[in-house]
Amino acid sequence: MQTLSQEAVTYFQEIVGAKNVRQSENDLEHMGKDWSTVPKDLNTAPQPAAILLPGSTDEVSKILSYCNTHNIKVVPSGGRTGLVGGAMAVNGEVVLSLQRMNKIITIDSIGMFAVVEAGVNTQVLQEAAEKRGVMFALDLGSAGSSLIGGNISTNAAGKKFIRNGGMRQQVLGLEVVLANGQVFDLKGSLRKDNTGYALEELFIGSEGTLGVVTKATVKLMTRPEKMTTMCCVTDTFDKVLRTLELCHLKSLKVNTFEFFSRTSYEAVKKLKNLKPLFDGNCYMLIVLEGSQDRIDAMVESMFSDGLASDGLIAQSLDDYLTIWTYRDMIVEAVGAYKCAKRTDVSLPIPAMGEFIGDMMQRFETRPPSIDIIAYGHVGDGNFHIDYISNETSDYKTILAMERTQHELVSEYGGSISAEHGIGLLKKPFLNLTRTEAEIDLMRSIKKLLDPIGILNPGKIFDM
Ligand SMILES: Cc1cc2nc3c(=O)[nH]c(=O)nc-3n(C[C@H](O)[C@H](O)[C@H](O)COP(=O)(O)OP(=O)(O)OC[C@H]3O[C@@H](n4cnc5c(N)ncnc54)[C@H](O)[C@@H]3O)c2cc1C
């Protein structure tokens, strides 16, 4: 467990100001963890040595340079909405929170980009773009709390990936600070730049292990035409996939194609005391762009082909909110259980139905106290499969189920993380869908950029 000398604390206070070095028990507990749920006895309780809140790139650079010289381990931190323990400080690290660096520097609707500091909140950027009449395309359930630097470092995806891609597709340029304090300004707002390796790409999705993102230039887009939001229900997952196919065959622009199971629906209904929608096994939340005629034709086919048995097309803000609440509140509903394990896997889209059937069959004989909640961004081949129980003693069984699930994902040619990353919690499974040679190459890159290993140690892989 790392301890911090008084000399280091005094140095940090000189750099960022005394009030921006926090060491109260409350701050350490609150800012040393993220949204991941782990029962306390698993030795992953937050135990940072201090929280540092720099206000500029120069301050970040000075802090990292000092930490590198004195071998002080650092956990970069954004909105702490991560679900895999990436921003957790469990070994006396210093938490480097970017939350004070929250300026939107430019919104440019000619070049269609925004320049922002890493601590800008995702929703704040969405709203600023909207106000200018354009759109920042990343949209995720945690947008009200997550920060752009965290979105970049996790390569966040979200609800509109099927239409706009994830964070990687939104980033034009990055400013990053390496472990030794060196600042790199990579690519700026250039859309085209073929001058050797795209270095900025390395930092996207690297979970704070290679450098600290301090600034980003992200793409803006034109806003979509009229959108229609609907929620429909059907009895089998195969019909969910056939509905997705129908959207493609009807040449409709799919803005969002989400799925949630009956167990997800029931968990949210109970948590939020919501008005019921309709009964069924598989719920589809679909947002389509296009003319009313074409969407009407699609809905007609859906029902005449027997792909949906009931549904609601949002006609009012109230309908829209009801539909989205059922989807957006699933993460919170899962978190309400004493014992919960979240997973986010990626699969070849056509294989999703067979995979889930196969998996459920293997878990048929599980203890009755464990429930399985499946939902996710089906249009992108991304399932969230979460395990919930109110018996803490079920955690070991749940961990074993998680391993079985990931082994099956590997058999199906999938990935153990579609969008949340590896962090601390998925580290034991990384080698199921990445080869040892690939992990070794990642280690070499880490060694090159952070030779002493001060940045987010123990996350993604061990050295
Ligand atoms: C309700 C809810 C819904 C969610 N929905 C989605 C979803 O649809 N899609 C999705 O992809 N994710 C989703 N997530 C997960 C999470 O919100 C994303 O991973 C998000 O991008 C994390 O951003 P953050 O600012 O909270 O990062 P944090 O949790 O603070 O950090 C995440 C990782 O990035 C590193 N990091 C943070 N800031 C920096 C920086 N400036 N420089 C270098 N490293 C940094 C941290 O060390 C950590 O490893 C959801 C989470 C919740 C709670």
* Average pLDDT, integer, range 399-421: 96
Tell me if 227-331 shares its fold with 337-420. Answer: yes
* Minimal-distance CA residue to ligand 1 atom 5: 141
Task: Tell me if the domain spanning 6-99 has CATH number 3.30.43.10.
Answer: yes
CA 313 / ligand 1 centre spacing (Å):
31
Distance CA 430, CA 423 (A): 10
Query: How confident is the model at residue 441, as a pLDDT?
Result: 98
User: Under CATH, which architecture does the 337-420 domain have?
Assistant: 2-Layer Sandwich (3.30)
| 227-331: CATH number | 3.30.70.2190
* Average pLDDT, integer, range 283-302: 93
Predicted confidence band of residue 246 (pLDDT cuts 50, 70, 90): very high
SS3 61: helix
Percent above pLDDT 70 for the chain: 98
The torsion defined by the Cα of 314, 316, 317 and 319, in degrees rounded to 10, comes to -40
Residue 254 has pLDDT above 70, yes or no: yes
CA 278 / ligand 1 centre spacing (Å):
33
What number of residues does the chain have?
463
CA 312 / ligand 1 centre spacing (Å):
32
CA 150 / ligand 1 centre spacing (Å):
5
Residue 13 has pLDDT above 90, yes or no: yes
Residue 225 has pLDDT above 90, yes or no: no
Query: How confident is the model at residue 218, as a pLDDT?
Result: 98
Residue 42 has pLDDT above 90, yes or no: no
Query: How confident is the model at residue 311, as a pLDDT?
Result: 94
Every domain of the chain and the residues it spans:
6-99, 104-219, 227-331, 337-420
Shortest-distance atom of ligand 1 to CA 208: 44
* Minimal-distance CA residue to ligand 1 atom 23: 150
* Minimal-distance CA residue to ligand 1 atom 37: 150
CA 153 / ligand 1 centre spacing (Å):
7
Residue 44 has pLDDT above 70, yes or no: no
Query: How confident is the model at residue 410, as a pLDDT?
Result: 97
Query: How confident is the model at residue 118, as a pLDDT?
Result: 98
Q: How many CB atoms lie within 10 A of CB 205?
A: 20
List, for residues 80-115, the tens digit of each pLDDT value: 999 999 999 999 999 999 999 999 999 999 999 999
Shortest-distance atom of ligand 1 to CA 156: 11
Query: How confident is the model at residue 348, as a pLDDT?
Result: 97
Residue 43 has pLDDT above 70, yes or no: no
Q: Which amino acid is at 401?
A: M
Query: How confident is the model at residue 3, as a pLDDT?
Result: 85
Predicted confidence band of residue 58 (pLDDT cuts 50, 70, 90): very high
List, for residues 191-201, the tens digit of each pLDDT value: 999 999 999 99
Predicted confidence band of residue 39 (pLDDT cuts 50, 70, 90): low
Q: How many CA atoms lie within 13 A of 176 on its CB side?
A: 30
Where are the alpha helices (H) located in 369-418, listed in sequence order? 395-411
Residues 6+ apart with CB under 8 A from 179: 64, 67, 68, 211, 449, 450, 451, 452, 454, 455
Q: What is the mean pLDDT of the chain?
A: 94
Residue 41 has pLDDT above 70, yes or no: no
CA 361 / ligand 1 centre spacing (Å):
32
The torsion defined by the Cα of 199, 201, 207 and 211, in degrees rounded to 10, comes to 20
* Average pLDDT, integer, range 388-405: 93
Best residue among 153, 207, 454 to mutate for probing ligand 1, ranked by most atoms within 8 Å of CB: 153
* Average pLDDT, integer, range 246-265: 93
Predicted confidence band of residue 38 (pLDDT cuts 50, 70, 90): low
Residues 6+ apart with CB under 8 A from 6: none
Measure CA of the first residue to CA of the last residue in the chain; give whole Å.
Answer: 17
Query: How confident is the model at residue 40, as a pLDDT?
Result: 53
Distance CA 421, CA 86 (A): 8
Given a contact cutoff of 8 angstroms between Cβ atoms, the answer to whether 413 and 348 are in contact is yes
Residue 218, token pair as written in the block: 């992200």
Query: How confident is the model at residue 335, as a pLDDT?
Result: 86
Given a contact cutoff of 8 angstroms between Cβ atoms, the answer to whether 27 and 99 are in contact is no
CA 149 / ligand 1 centre spacing (Å):
8
Task: Tell me if the domain spanning 104-219 has CATH number 3.30.465.10.
Answer: yes
Predicted confidence band of residue 36 (pLDDT cuts 50, 70, 90): confident
SS3 2: coil
- What is the DSSP secondary-structure string of 68-124? HHHT--EEEESS---SSSTT---SSPEEEE-TT---EEEEETTTTEEEEETT-BHHH
Residue 365 has pLDDT above 70, yes or no: yes
Residue 381 has pLDDT above 70, yes or no: yes
Sign of CA dihedral 207, 146, 172, 102: negative
CA distances from 249 to 7, 252, 254, 298, 326 (A): 66, 8, 11, 10, 28
Predicted confidence band of residue 176 (pLDDT cuts 50, 70, 90): very high
H/E segment holding residue 236: none
Query: How confident is the model at residue 62, as a pLDDT?
Result: 98
* Average pLDDT, integer, range 134-160: 95
* Average pLDDT, integer, range 151-165: 94
* Average pLDDT, integer, range 167-180: 97
Distance CA 185, CA 116 (A): 13
* Average pLDDT, integer, range 331-335: 89
H/E segment holding residue 30: helix 25-31
Ligand 1 cavity residues, CB under 6 Å: 34-35, 75-83, 86-87, 98, 118, 140-142, 146-147, 149-151, 153-154, 156-158, 207-208, 212-213, 331, 419-420, 423, 456, 459
